Structure 1
Amino acid sequence: MYGFLLLFFFLFTFNNQNISYAQEPPSISGYKCNPNQFNPCQTYVFFRAKGPEFLDLASIGDLFSVSRLMIANPSNISNPNTTLVNNQPLFVPISCSCNTVNATFGSISYAGLNYTFKPGDTMYGISTSKFGNLTTYQSVEAINPTVVPENIDIGQSIKFPIFCKCPNSTTQPRLGINGNNTKPLDTLFIPLTNLPNLPQNTSNTPPPPPPPTSLPPIVQENDRKGTIIGLAIALGLCGALLILFVGLFYKERKVKKEKYSDVERQKSQYLGSKKGSFDKDVEVNLMADVSECLDKYKMYKIEQLWEATDGFDEGCLIQGSVYKGTIDGEKFAIKKMKWNAREELKILQKVNHGNLVKLEGFCIDPKEANCYLVYEYVENGSLHSWLHGDKPEKLSWVTRLRIATDVANGLLYIHEHTRPRVVHKDIKSSNILLDANMRAKVANFGLAKSGCNAITMHIVGTQGYIAPEYLTDGIVSTKMDVFSFGVVLLELVSGKEAIDDEGKVLWAKVGEFSEGSEERKVRKLQEWMDESFLREELTMESVVNVMSVAISCVNKDPSRRPGMVEIVYALSKSIDLFSDVSEEGLSPRQVTAR
């Protein structure tokens, strides 16, 4: 009976502004649990919105790694894009489980949330202020034993344990689960069959200011003089700022006008004596969409791209709508787009990493309403062509390990070091390119989204790589990239396609490697992995490690998938296990064959 009564939990931090808690430190040990008797559950935390950082569901969703709708629905908020007010009550879903920390702490129940440090952040401040005492900095230190609190780098990701509890057969009724010694600032747990209906403030209008009090005439006269002087100074400053703003506006407008005129000249040269007309509105709209990028990238003329690709001849086609072209003796990859490239340009502006393909410039063709993106040329083509194409050489295991680590580092960068975070949404072996040294670069940001934890009804992607939660519910998060990366790892290990001729997806078979004894698992893996490895000297431990990472990445529950920080660390360990690694460029067959 109580199992049903305790099916839903929410927790909140005891708070009363009329009581001082200076002498009552919060519990630092967490809530003890037995992993053998603990059933994980989905539960809720009671969280209050607070300015200036957490007054919208998107920022709170990023903090707790959930979508806006996942907070809006249980919190009785009809519009997930609404602006919140200070102290607005919210229910935020978390996944609670029992985790072993160390010999001192033992096992405690919590939901582990990764937080990426920003300038000014401290472990104590995040625990008490941002997470509202739903955890303690002592517990954060305990589950991150290698982290030095005074030496945390900007961009470093650290796990924060959000305290929680789940029902079991020994749980006491009502509030008995809190024990008999609760103190102020302790976390309280309330068992419920259903979440209560939170009343929400629908008005964001601040209260009217209090009426002015009467002052003596002399004070009023002095106030008038002070007000006049203050107004005069303010008007003077406003005038100076207005002049400065107008000057900057006209200067920027002049620069953009010159660049726009250059596009006009390129258009006239390209059209030449060609007959026909083009839509003037289309041209203006295209220029407006990419105007913010004019100063950041080189603008190529359409004649340059036409000559570079022999008129976009099929002989220069790399794949899809991407052509190989040579401009001033340098090779480029030129992507022809029939639609607005503004979103892709916006995202590419803020990413700069060695494991991401670099954008060199772009070109607009007003006649055809096309936009061309000019990328660096990556010599050895796609990973897909090496794994599944007709190339005579096979990639060695050490090369595949390096490729996996390169891709993981590229994803780590866009997930953790861009603000807002970028979700690629189309990670697959054909979007991973290999340079002259067989090092990997992530390409094609055409489907990428800036910002995560969103819901979309427009599902796009490649079958065999799409995460289940995105396919069924349209949830966009960094964990969907993790899932797709896991499929790529399975391709690297097996040499098989992400989806076979019968339409069966590769990731659905990973359950076979979690059954039976360790010897059986290894034997099953040896039968399944790429047969070319049988001709190499490699350690199965390295392959097993990578396979373990892949299996965790394709977990159907996104909350159970690792983050890219953990993945990069695990893959680095797999490389360490492989002794025959050259520090120079890696060739497709570099490992000594037997």
Structure 2
Amino acid sequence: MKLKPHHFHFLFTNLLLLLYQIHHSQAQPSTYGYVCSPNTNTSGYPCQTYVFYRATSPDFLDLASIGDLFSVSRLSIAKPSNISNPSFSLLPGQGIFAPISCGCNPVQNKTLNFLSFANLTYTFKKDDTFYYVSTHHFGNLTTYQAVEVVNPTLVPEDLQIGSDAYFPIFCKCPNITQLQNSVNFLVSYVFQPGDSLDSVASKFGVTKQAIVDVNRANIGPFDTVFVPVAKLPHLNQPPGVAPVVGVVEKKENKGAVVGLGVGLGICVLLLVLVCGFWVYREAWFRRSMEEEGLKEQKLEKGGRKYMKEMEQNLLLADVSDTLDKYRVFEIDELRKATDGFHERCVVQGSVYKGFIEGKVYAIKKMKWNAYEELKILQKVNHGNLVRLEGFCIDPEDASCYLVYEYIENGSLYSWLHEHNRGNLKWKTRLRIAIDVANGLQYIHEHTTPQVVHKDVKSTNILLDSNMRGKIANFGLAKSGCNAITMHIVGTQGYIAPEYLADGVVSPKMDVFAFGVVLLELISGREAIDEEGRVLWMSARDVWEGTEEEKTRKLMRWVDESLLNESCSAESLMNMMGVAIACTNKDPSKRPSMVDVVYALCKGDDFFYEISSNDFSTSSLKAR
């Protein structure tokens, strides 16, 4: 993309950075990020931590825009940053603390295994580049080289407006020793040209040596350093600046006061007349109610209306801290978008396709109170999860609607088992498997408390225009794990044995269901056949015997459409091995999703040169 003149206002600082890199290249850390170990017993990953972010003109001078950038609410920034009013504007360079979820993530690179970062999704706008977004938007909290590593399929010189990319924000989690020494956070801080170790230590109330111990002695401008703190320091913020909207001149105020006085006088007169009419009407109506049954019916109707209003108000109160993150739609908007929820707009079940202001959405009508699902969705943000755009509460009956991004190519189930059967190439299937694994890893490792989806299946995996997988439908999701429930829900063929037998809810039940999805991708068979036989049981018969016997049986068992491709038996065996491990009857012997992502990514097929046509849907559409 071609740079515009407004991009060059930070040219001087970037020249300083370039000179520093030339003269101090030996002392620099890897521009790809910070290597980590996924061993949660010693490393402390994943964790909730903070970055120190500086407000940037002109795009990021308010908490709403910064919250959108980091996918958090305004309140979650205002509280730790000592900002009394989240609606106030910020001054350029004003420092704040933004919360992030830091994880030790596997990367699809042959020389790098795991890097420590918070995985944020960014949607490209006109003239954006990896470099510009990293330095200007995210304030050098990442580098364009790191962005290229975590987005191996994107071409930096050909970024499409509206497309998404992952931006890895550098972070670290305290290890077990640091936690025992009361280091609760390692705050990500970008070293400025005028900074020194002494000044940074003073800002955070720690010692210079404490910073050196966590980082290294040679720290230069625009390096990300990690400041060890027991608690966040108190930021002395300047007085807030009220938003420009609503500011008027004194002369206009005077006229407004006069007009307001006249208006109030008229309103009071009208109110008196309306109240008099209402009193007369009520008296006449009560006299006309001769039967006691009519009175009871009126009371019952009023009670139901009151209860519905209470339910609506309670739901709004429950999600009040995320109202700035999601759009609250009006019910009339949704009715217009779906032609009155007409059946021709139905996508699947109670999900409708609707157009609002020229943009297409998926509108889900809830059959129950949506509070639990909203509570889960407000905690998650990842490119492999279907994004919630907003919600609506119908004031008539307090029913709830969730408004999601619209995913163009429908469910994985339809591509494997219905009209598109056989059109999924092996590389596309592998890419989808890795996408879903990344999404599950995120909800298992990067949310606190962790989230269990509980309903992973091919119908809940949607494919976008680039055939990238996204996990949908968090209606059964559970926040927290290792719980016991007597109410067993889910889909036959995907339910883990320990959940079916004892009601044990844990991330390992998602791992089991994901293993079944892998078996669907390999075989083209459904999770349960017409005779009631489950796929994961029949797969275990394939995986018996010597390696040669396994390979021979697998080649007879795989989807016939894959036999016409050049996909290697080694790649098929690799995915089959992961699927068998995931569907182990003993949950303690199943791998974590971190291990699954790593195992799927290490296959050689994934590192072959992937052209943009490999994931094109133009040749895959049903005729």
TM-score (norm: length of structure 2): 0.51
How far, CA to CA, are the matches of 2:618 and 2:173 in structure 1?
48
1:351 pairs with one of 380, 388, 392: 380
Match of 1:496 in 2: 525
3-state SS of 1:290 partner? helix
Q: Which residue type is aligned with residue 510 of structure 2? A: D
Match of 2:406 in 1: 377
Once the 2 structures are TM-superposed, how far is the Cα of residue 120 of structure 1 from its aligned partner? 6.0
Given that residues 495 and 513 in structure 2 are in contact (C-alpha distance below 8 angstroms), is that contact kept between their aligned partners in structure 1?
yes
Match of 2:314 in 1: 288
Match of 1:169 in 2: none
How far, CA to CA, are the matches of 1:457 and 1:129 in structure 2?
40
3-state SS of 1:326 partner? strand
Given that residues 395 and 588 in structure 1 are in contact (C-alpha distance below 8 angstroms), is that contact kept between their aligned partners in structure 2?
no
Once the 2 structures are TM-superposed, how far is the Cα of residue 296 of structure 1 from its aligned partner? 2.8
Deviations along 1:97-150, one digit per CA (max 9) or x if unpaired, are xxxxxxxxxxxxxxxxxxxxx9763244679999xxxxxxxxxxxxxxxxxx97
1:536 pairs with one of 552, 565, 572: 565
Single out whichever of 581-590 and 297-306 deviates more from structure 2: 581-590
Task: Say whether residues 1:436 and 2:465 are aligned partners.
Answer: yes
Match of 2:450 in 1: 421
Matches within 5 A, 1:76-475: 121-124=174-177, 279-291=305-317, 292=320, 293-391=322-420, 394-475=423-504
How far, CA to CA, are the matches of 1:569 and 1:486 in structure 2?
15
Match of 2:240 in 1: none
Given that residues 539 and 578 in structure 1 are in contact (C-alpha distance below 8 angstroms), is that contact kept between their aligned partners in structure 2?
no
Match of 2:543 in 1: 514
Match of 2:511 in 1: 482
Once the 2 structures are TM-superposed, how far is the Cα of residue 368 of structure 1 from its aligned partner? 2.9
Single out whichever of 577-586 and 494-503 deviates more from structure 2: 577-586
How far, CA to CA, are the matches of 2:388 and 2:598 in structure 1?
28
Once the 2 structures are TM-superposed, how far is the Cα of residue 525 of structure 1 from its aligned partner? 0.3
How far, CA to CA, are the matches of 1:452 and 1:409 in structure 2?
19
Match of 1:232 in 2: none
How far, CA to CA, are the matches of 1:541 and 1:589 in structure 2?
29
Q: Which residue type is aligned with residue 467 of structure 2? A: M
Matches within 5 A, 1:576-587: 576=605, 579=608, 581-582=610-611, 586-587=615-616
Match of 1:57 in 2: none
How far, CA to CA, are the matches of 1:589 and 1:575 in structure 2?
26
Once the 2 structures are TM-superposed, how far is the Cα of residue 480 of structure 1 from its aligned partner? 0.5
Once the 2 structures are TM-superposed, how far is the Cα of residue 367 of structure 1 from its aligned partner? 1.8
Once the 2 structures are TM-superposed, how far is the Cα of residue 369 of structure 1 from its aligned partner? 2.9
CA spacing shift, 1:577–1:318, aligned 2, 3 Å? closer
3-state SS of 1:279 partner? helix
How far, CA to CA, are the matches of 1:290 and 1:540 in structure 2?
54
Match of 1:62 in 2: none
CA spacing shift, 1:342–1:495, aligned 2, 3 Å? same
Once the 2 structures are TM-superposed, how far is the Cα of residue 573 of structure 1 from its aligned partner? 1.5
Deviations along 1:218-242, one digit per CA (max 9) or x if unpaired, are xxxxxxxxxxxxxxxxxxxxxxxxx
Match of 1:558 in 2: 587
Once the 2 structures are TM-superposed, how far is the Cα of residue 583 of structure 1 from its aligned partner? 5.2
Once the 2 structures are TM-superposed, how far is the Cα of residue 338 of structure 1 from its aligned partner? 2.3
Q: How many residue pairs are counted as aligned between the two chains?
A: 338
Given that residues 546 and 571 in structure 1 are in contact (C-alpha distance below 8 angstroms), is that contact kept between their aligned partners in structure 2?
yes
Deviations along 1:40-69, one digit per CA (max 9) or x if unpaired, are xxxxxxxxxxxxxxxxxxxxxxxxxxxxxx
How far, CA to CA, are the matches of 2:385 and 2:437 in structure 1?
11
How far, CA to CA, are the matches of 1:579 and 1:589 in structure 2?
22
Q: Which residue type is aligned with residue 286 of structure 1? A: Q
Once the 2 structures are TM-superposed, how far is the Cα of residue 537 of structure 1 from its aligned partner? 1.2
3-state SS of 1:373 partner? strand
Given that residues 422 and 561 in structure 2 are in contact (C-alpha distance below 8 angstroms), is that contact kept between their aligned partners in structure 1?
no
CA spacing shift, 1:120–1:403, aligned 2, 3 Å? closer
Given that residues 334 and 374 in structure 1 are in contact (C-alpha distance below 8 angstroms), is that contact kept between their aligned partners in structure 2?
yes
Given that residues 435 and 469 in structure 2 are in contact (C-alpha distance below 8 angstroms), is that contact kept between their aligned partners in structure 1?
yes
CA spacing shift, 1:538–1:119, aligned 2, 3 Å? closer
3-state SS of 2:353 partner? strand
Deviations along 1:530-562, one digit per CA (max 9) or x if unpaired, are 000111111110010000000000001111000
Deviations along 1:249-304, one digit per CA (max 9) or x if unpaired, are xxxxxxxxxxxxxxxxxxxxxxxxxx997622112222212322433311111111
Once the 2 structures are TM-superposed, how far is the Cα of residue 514 of structure 1 from its aligned partner? 2.9
Q: Which residue type is aligned with residue 121 of structure 1? A: P
Deviations along 1:302-356, one digit per CA (max 9) or x if unpaired, are 1110011111111110111100000011000000012110011111111010000
How far, CA to CA, are the matches of 1:383 and 1:363 in structure 2?
28
Once the 2 structures are TM-superposed, how far is the Cα of residue 391 of structure 1 from its aligned partner? 2.2
CA spacing shift, 1:581–1:321, aligned 2, 3 Å? same
CA spacing shift, 1:329–1:541, aligned 2, 3 Å? same
How far, CA to CA, are the matches of 2:477 and 2:173 in structure 1?
29
How far, CA to CA, are the matches of 1:343 and 1:368 in structure 2?
19
CA spacing shift, 1:407–1:120, aligned 2, 3 Å? closer
CA spacing shift, 1:456–1:129, aligned 2, 3 Å? farther
Q: Which residue type is aligned with residue 547 of structure 1? A: M
Once the 2 structures are TM-superposed, how far is the Cα of residue 409 of structure 1 from its aligned partner? 0.4
Given that residues 438 and 585 in structure 1 are in contact (C-alpha distance below 8 angstroms), is that contact kept between their aligned partners in structure 2?
no
3-state SS of 1:281 partner? helix
How far, CA to CA, are the matches of 1:327 and 1:384 in structure 2?
28
How far, CA to CA, are the matches of 1:549 and 1:419 in structure 2?
27
